Chain A
Amino acid sequence: MNVIGLRAAYRTISQFHENRRLIAWLSAQPWVIWLSPERRKSVLFYGAMIAGAVGVFSRNAKWRDYRALAPWLEHGLAFVFLLGLIYALYRAAINFKDLPPNVRRRPQICFHLLFWLLLGFLWFFPERGGLSLAVLSVIAASFPYLIWRAGYMLLSGQRGKALNSQFRDHLFYIWPIWDGTNTPPGKGHDYLSRMVAQTPESYARTLLGGFKLLLLVALWSVFLELIGALVYGDPKSSFNALFRRYTLGIPRLKQILSEQMALPLVQVWLSLYLELIWETLSLAAKGHVWVGVIRLFGFNIFRNTYKPLLAQTIVEFWNRYYYYFKELMMEFFFLPIYARYFRNSPRLRVISAVFAAAFVGNMYYHLLQHKEPLIFGEWSKLWRLLGARLIYCGMLASGIAVSMLRQQRQRSRAHVMPAGASQRLRRLRGIAGVWTFFAVINFWNVISNLTIAERARLFFSLFGL
């Protein structure tokens, strides 16, 4: 078999989800026909009730050391309250025009204020226990997961798209059975309803797309295990016994930071780049699980991670690395600022919107992620966890703003594409630049016990300073 034949064979295998005969066969299967969009929606609705209950009842499992929250009654009451709150927000979304003008103008801020009021109440009465406080704590701990998902529902109401929707059209993505982080993969009602497969044929196509992502998860997981054994010498890797003697033994970035290891500069830089590759593959594997499962339910949505390591610009990398996080920042921070401020100054307009998303929004999102110290008002702990991230987000926002402005400038110029080798060289230079930028700023993203000054000293030593 020659190279062309091999390429064709690879394409046939890797693009199996677009194989017409396979799609035709799958779409004729009785279960595919039976699983109409309505039936799938019903499965998701009942699944959401179970996922919601499991989520709320396990909410304090990770922070038992904080407070003795345990009895089922607290979680049961919190679940009922949260279900009621989601329903009230749904009613607000479908009757959006009837809301008071101030709420209509800034619905997201009003919703977030509700959460901060709850937090304020918990800070004010920190030590007086009792059932009501315990219930409120569980509710507050559930908020960071729900706040962006319910935010998409309100956004749908604001845009007038929730009018004819039913409660179950929303509940399934607010308490999704595919779980995920606080970032909702698949966004909300507007996006999901546009991407739903309506016919058995399109459902079969979407199913195959889902299977493909789940297969990729298996592949990336094996690859990560191999990197773990061969590069890091990770004792937890399944291949550790096999490759123990051949490992490069390069330390993880977190280890270098926490132990302040004195290593040759080349090794530290290698560790920085490898960390970027490792994190990208890990995120791709996680995101493919969420998106793969969503596709199995007939929503033909975009991948969460799509070849970011081949991106040639910073803004392209950010778009491809964690798509649904970028979309969240875009819809809740970037677009509102872009629509409202500095409309007469295009450059300032872009810069302010980018900083609203990549700096303010990014920081705020991660502040809400640390729910335990937030609920108990542990500010020094929050600073320890997030201080370095301020620098990370500042560098990220600056990089994206410069990249966006540069791209806009290039687009407005009629430029001639270089051909052949010089185009490839330009492409490689772009990719290398993007890798270096994200590898370097990731230095500030890795959680460690170092103070900012200690971390800064290590950071400057990367450049021989």
Chain B
Amino acid sequence: MTDRDRHRLELIEFLRTIQRPDYPLAAIDEESGLVESGLIDSLALLQIVTYLEQTYRVDFNERGIDPDDLRSVNSILALIARESAS
């Protein structure tokens, strides 16, 4: 299992805890916007920020929060990969 696969599984597991109760997570692909598809509300983005800070030590203080980085499963994984590489 690659790092990306592991991060993906962890992320999906986390998204399940903050998603809207009536929305099937399996219904969205990795490119779909998490808020646009209705999976989470815009407020839940803040919980994703906290999750990334705590789990992957992403320092948003240094880089600022770019909502585009949190838009989809893929963009979050790309952010984690960038942060891990640096």
Contacts and interface: CB of A to CB of B under 8 A. Distances in A.
Interface of A: 158-159, 161, 190, 194, 315-316, 319, 330-331, 335-336, 338-340, 343, 346, 350, 404, 407-408, 411, 415, 417
Contact of A338 (B41, B44, B46, B68): B46
Given A338-B49, A417-B21, A417-B22, A411 B65 contact: no
Nearest to B19: A411
25 contacts: A159-B64, A159-B66, A315-B43, A316-B41, A319-B42, A331-B67, A336-B64, A338-B46, A338-B49, A338-B60, A338-B65, A339-B61, A339-B64, A339-B65, A343-B53, A346-B50, A407-B41, A407-B43, A408-B43, A408-B47, A411-B44, A411-B47, A415-B21, A417-B21, A417-B22
A413 B42 CA distance: 18
Where chain A touches its partner, the secondary structure class is: helix
A415 B18 CA distance: 12
B57 to A, nearest CB: 12
B61 A343 contact: yes
Contacts of B18: 411
Across the A-B interface, the 6 shortest Cβ-Cβ residue pairs: A339-B60, A335-B65, A339-B65, A159-B66, A340-B61, A339-B61
Given A315-B43, A343-B53, A190 B61 contact: no
Contacts of B46: 338, 350, 408
Contacts, number: 43
Interface of B: 18, 21-22, 41-44, 46-47, 49-50, 53, 60-61, 64-68
Nearest to B60: A339
Contacts of B21: 415, 417
Contacts of A408: 43, 46-47
A404 B45 CA distance: 12
A335 B67 CA distance: 9
A343 B65 CA distance: 13
A335 B43 contact: no
Contacts of B66: 159
Contacts of A335: 64-65, 67
A417 B22 CA distance: 9
Nearest to B21: A417
